Structure 1
Amino acid sequence: MARSLDGLVLAPVADQAPGQVGTRTRFVYHEQDGAVWAEYEGGDVVRGRLVGTREGDRLDFRYVQLKTDGSTSSGHCVSAVVELPDGRVRLEETWEWESQRGSGTSVVEQLTVHER
């Protein structure tokens, strides 16, 4: 199992569609006793939250976000936790909106201190 996500800052490696998370979005993760949660913001997202569970190297969580246009959206995501050769963490995500149409995949990676 990869190390704890607690206190890590992650960001997408590529932009998604407009109104969604993108390379300017920052996720601050927390983890305790199998529970995971995060706050995120940046780009088209004013404020976002996610909450779920971790079993081994698998995350299963729901997310909700407020966008710059004032709209809200929510969805479900399952992620694989991968430790990169340089020791950073990558999440390989498969997500699906629950409040609107759409689904896809994305990758977020731990940022170094100077990238934050």
Structure 2
Amino acid sequence: MINYNNIIFNPISNSENGEVDLSMQFVYKQSGNIVTCTYSGGRIRSGQLIALVDDKGCLDMRYHQINIQGEIMTGICRSTPEILYNGKIRLHEKWKWTAGDFSEGESVLEEQ
């Protein structure tokens, strides 16, 4: 199992309908198979995620955030890890809003 505790991820791509800004940082914490994170920046005033990690390092995630318009946005995400040549982790994410327009998107995060 991948241990995500204290790993910092930076977004490197995101679908246009997403709110994550490429300058943001996500600091993951892990206890057992539970992963959590808080984040903010860009179009997001405050956000949190919680996930279960499986034995392959995949994350089954739920997130909620307040954007700069003052709206509460929620969603689900499935993140699949890729171990890069330098040993760092890249997360390939498929997500869907469970608020707003209920659209779907994809993003990629990479370990700092």
Same-fold status (TM-score > 0.5): yes
Corresponding residue for residue 21 of structure 1: 20
User: Is contact 2:47-2:66 (8 Å) kept?
Assistant: yes
The alpha-carbon deviation at position 21 of structure 1 amounts to 0.2
Larger RCO: 1 or 2 (CA < 8 Å, sep 6+): 2
Corresponding residue for residue 110 of structure 2: 109
Corresponding residue for residue 79 of structure 1: 79
More off after superposition, 12-21 vs 50-59:
12-21
CA-based RMSD of the aligned residues comes to 1.5
Q: TM-score, normalised by structure 1?
A: 0.87
**Residue correspondences, number:** 110
User: Is contact 1:46-1:66 (8 Å) kept?
Assistant: yes
Q: 1:18 to 1:58 in 2, by over 3 A?
A: closer
Structure 1 portions without partners, runs of 5+: 112-116
Deviations 1:61-96 (A, max 9, x none): 100001112111000001112211112111110100
* Equivalence map 1:38-49=2 (5 Å): 38-49=37-48
The alpha-carbon deviation at position 17 of structure 1 amounts to 2.7
Identity of aligned residues (%): 30
Distance 2:15 2:80 in 1: 19
The alpha-carbon deviation at position 15 of structure 1 amounts to 4.5
The alpha-carbon deviation at position 38 of structure 1 amounts to 0.6
Distance 2:10 2:73 in 1: 19
Structure 2 portions without partners, runs of 5+: none
The alpha-carbon deviation at position 20 of structure 1 amounts to 0.1
Q: Helix, strand or coil: the match of 2:94?
A: strand
Amino acid at match of 2:36: W
* Equivalence map 1:50-61=2 (5 Å): 50-56=49-55, 57-61=57-61
